[in-house]
Amino acid sequence: MSLTEIAGFAEQIAREAGELIVREREENRLRTDYKAQTELVTHADVMADELIARAIRTRFPDHRILSEEASPDRTQAENLDSPLWIVDPIDGTVNYAYGHPQVAVSIAFADQGAVQVGVVHAPFAGETFRAVLGQGATLNGEAIHNSEADNPRQALFATGFPYGKDELAPLVRRLDVMLHHCRDLRRIGSAALDICWVAAGRLDVYYETVSPWDFAAARVIALEAGARCGHFTPVPAGYPEDLWPKDLLICAPALFDRLQALLGSA
């Protein structure tokens, strides 16, 4: 199966999961719980995760799945033996639980540690971001491109904060330096959409430490939209850079080096 066909399959199941998510929200069947004592999860997260995993296993029984709910073993990202799907059934679960529309289904396909296909579907907004490595990025079928911002003072940035509150000091230092050097902050609540909004030019910069399922699909979309994708601290030797989740920096290319230095020093 070609990468274009894989992208079409990923978009199809992302849309099906999106329909499920919207239906559960509209029919007020919201049931919540917590994992790791702090992180909110809804019944819709689990249902959408099962829908996506079932479709992948039926179509690609030899492929592995790394997903936030059913298969959250992050060591899967280091295993290059077989193709890997990286899935977040609801990126922005807290938004979802509170009735905010910034929610996305995120599905990425990787082979040999390189993410080759990304689909991020925002069901409440009716927006589907999609990219195949080397083929550009689209929003609802139309080509998108990063903002090409070149002045940090005029750059709009996004970031997020962890559920655990034990190590906030370095995050506050980074936020302080960014607020002093950039135009303003937007706190959207979905890493996948933050990154896709950089891809579409709605934001200029995104930085954060998250999990592979939060960013894998959106990163390749931003990359194909001309954004520069990297990190502001070193990636461990031998770890696939496409899937290293710590200290991500994704932005318009002309901003990258200066912001990398600012965040790294903070």
Q: Output the pLDDT for position 72.
A: 81
- Tell me which of 3.40.50.2300, 3.40.50.720, 3.30.540.10, 3.40.50.300 is the CATH number of domain 3-143: 3.30.540.10
Token pair 């249902």 is found at 47
One fold for 3-143 and 152-265: no
Token pair 């070149």 is found at 150
Token pair 């901003």 is found at 255
Q: Output the pLDDT for position 34.
A: 59
- CATH number given to 152-265: 3.40.190.80
Q: Which two tokens stand for residue 134?
A: 């080397």
- Name the residue type at position 65: I
Q: Output the pLDDT for position 30.
A: 66
Please, which residues bridge with residue 229 across strands?
250
Rounded Cα–Cα distance for residues 25 and 96 (Å): 8
Q: Which residue ranges of the chain lie beneath pLDDT 70?
A: 28-39
Q: Output the pLDDT for position 39.
A: 67
Each domain of the chain, given as residue ranges in start order, spans 3-143, 152-265
Q: Output the pLDDT for position 77.
A: 86
Alpha-carbon Rg for the chain, nearest whole angstrom, is 17
pTM of structure? 0.95
